[in-house]
Structure 1
Amino acid sequence: MPEVDCLADLSASRYDSPMQSLKKERVSIMVTDAIKEIINVENLKPGDKLYSEKELVKKLEVSRSSIREALRMLEVSGVVKVYQGKGVFVSDPSEQSHPVKNWVVENAEALREHFEVRLLIEPHAASLACRFAEQKDLEALQSCYDTFVEKVKTGDVIESISSDSAFHLAVAKATKNRTLAVLMRTMDQTLNEGWYASLHAPGRLESSIAEHGRLLQAILDHDQEEASQAMEDHLRNALKDIQHYFGTL
């Protein structure tokens, strides 16, 4: 039976070179695609057990955190189901009327905690970015924003989520506070469910364009109060949309 032996092999058909692709796209997105490809190539059916995290790390030659992030994305999408202590199994999409909604309901407490932490950290980060961002940071923020807008227009939710989180990470990096930047990166790698859930709510991607634009302009203007408020409003709106659309939290 044919197999996908490594992430580089899978990406070769989509990009000119694997190293170039890593610069264009977050590893977790590539891993997500690679796992989907494994399911297709090896003809795995609903209920079949997928490789373990350890086996996927070895097979795709990426970090365990990237594997876990990809599996979370796939679980929210209804592609796989992760059972603690048992492993990862292929799901049956036809049995799920709304896999994202099902996931949100099952993980409501984790999502509440996710937004609680972000509301504590990110408005302050936006304020600090106004004070300490250098020209290269402002250019990076503008680039991240432009990429996010482009991805939303293509309708690719997964790449839009990647671009959304990249924008938030750029804000954290602009603070020049290394501890804060590391904390945000860790959250992005291990607590990304809030991004994933909120951006599946109808209209949230489009609303995020305007909200990111407001935040970006405030940072460009070095308006600390407006930047902090823009970030808080953005996060609260995302939470509100989850509550309204998914009927939970």
Structure 2
Amino acid sequence: MDITPVSQKRVSQEIIEQFVKFIIQDDLKAGDRLPSERVLAERFGVSRPSLREALRVMEAIGLVEIQRGGGTYVSDFNITPFLSVIAPLFMRKKGFELEFLELRIMLELKGVEMAARNPRTDKKDLLLPLVMSMKEAQEYDEGVRADIFFHRTIFRLSESFFLQKSAELVENILEYSVSHSRKIIIERVGDTNDLYQQHLRIYEAIVKGDVEEARTAMETHLRYTLGFYLE
């Protein structure tokens, strides 16, 4: 395998760059165990302390999973834990709620189209309990959780790797957005019945496999929410 020796400048960054090449060239998959630290350090031409530092960074950004005493494994590239730390920085940006809702419209319209096209037979079982939880929620947090999981499940049903990873990128901000939006709507409307009806319409379109109706229902829902920020 053609691995370029790592220079002393920006050692951790260069190890990570070489590591990504290593994954691609060796066609490693999530769950594959990596060679020992000694072997990796020799392969990359770095010291073991430098390698350990790079591995800690790669664990934080979701490239590897380190099992204490059990070795190091290629991960499923889950960067959610890292993003959960920095998400509050995005939320400080003036007007971020509006910008994020516009981003949600782009992502979720494509996601709901693909979910509606998906021939899976378990869509009703996955989505209906969440819709009913929104209807029957006695506590504010119950409705928020059901709402968040409803949108996450649609991304899962899209079965699009890139859409699901895009959703992971903004997962913590999505949670904040849903919670904050529901709070504003309750304050101004008095209840969440409109939200329940909108989610019910989305659910019914997905289960029927009606792509156009699913897209229309999702856009209606998101633009309804957006309207409260534009008032």
Task: Give the TM bin, normalised by the shorter chain.
Answer: 0.5 to 0.7
Q: Distance between the aligned counterparts of 2:192 and 2:229, measured in 1?
A: 12
Question: 3-state SS of the aligned residue for 2:113?
Answer: helix
Question: Cα 1:157–1:234, aligned 2, differ >3 Å: closer, same or farther?
Answer: same
Q: Distance between the aligned counterparts of 2:86 and 2:148, measured in 1?
A: 17
1:130 aligns with 2:116: yes
Q: Distance between the aligned counterparts of 1:180 and 1:114, measured in 2?
A: 15
What are the within-5 Å matches in structure 2 for residues 37-52 of structure 1? none
Q: CA deviation at 1:110?
A: 0.6
**What percent of counterpart residues are identical?**
21
Q: What is the root-mean-square deviation in Å for CA atoms of aligned residues?
A: 2.5
| Structure 2 equivalent of residue 157 of structure 1 | 140
What are the within-5 Å matches in structure 2 for residues 34-73 of structure 1? none
Question: Cα 1:138–1:183, aligned 2, differ >3 Å: closer, same or farther?
Answer: farther
Which protein has the larger Cα radius of gyration, Structure 1 or Structure 2? 2
| Structure 2 equivalent of residue 147 of structure 1 | 133
Q: Which runs of 5+ in 1 are unaligned?
A: 1-62, 73-83, 85-103, 245-249
| Structure 1 equivalent of residue 105 of structure 2 | 119
Question: 3-state SS of the aligned residue for 1:200?
Answer: helix
CA deviation map 1:26-58 (0-9, x unaligned): xxxxxxxxxxxxxxxxxxxxxxxxxxxxxxxxx
CA deviation map 1:2-43 (0-9, x unaligned): xxxxxxxxxxxxxxxxxxxxxxxxxxxxxxxxxxxxxxxxxx
Give yes or no for contact 2:116–2:211 (8 Å, CA) kept in 1: yes
Question: Cα 1:231–1:136, aligned 2, differ >3 Å: closer, same or farther?
Answer: same
Give yes or no for contact 1:132–1:174 (8 Å, CA) kept in 2: yes
1:218 aligns with 2:201: no
Give yes or no for contact 1:199–1:205 (8 Å, CA) kept in 2: yes
Q: CA deviation at 1:242?
A: 3.2
Q: CA deviation at 1:64?
A: 6.2
Give yes or no for contact 2:83–2:169 (8 Å, CA) kept in 1: no
Q: Distance between the aligned counterparts of 1:242 and 1:165, measured in 2?
A: 19
| Aligned counterpart in structure 2 of residue 190 of structure 1, from 173, 177, 189 | 173
1:178 aligns with 2:164: no
Q: Which runs of 5+ in 2 are unaligned?
A: 1-80
Q: CA deviation at 1:191?
A: 4.1
CA deviation map 1:181-230 (0-9, x unaligned): 22223322234332122101223622110000011111111110010010
Question: Cα 1:133–1:205, aligned 2, differ >3 Å: closer, same or farther?
Answer: farther
Q: Distance between the aligned counterparts of 1:107 and 1:121, measured in 2?
A: 21
Question: Cα 1:196–1:234, aligned 2, differ >3 Å: closer, same or farther?
Answer: same
1:241 aligns with 2:228: yes
Q: Distance between the aligned counterparts of 2:86 and 2:141, measured in 1?
A: 15
Question: Cα 1:196–1:218, aligned 2, differ >3 Å: closer, same or farther?
Answer: same
Give yes or no for contact 1:197–1:242 (8 Å, CA) kept in 2: no
Letter in 2 for 1:207: D
Q: TM-score normalised to the size of structure 1?
A: 0.52
| Structure 2 equivalent of residue 21 of structure 1 | none
| Structure 2 equivalent of residue 232 of structure 1 | 219
Question: 3-state SS of the aligned residue for 2:135?
Answer: helix
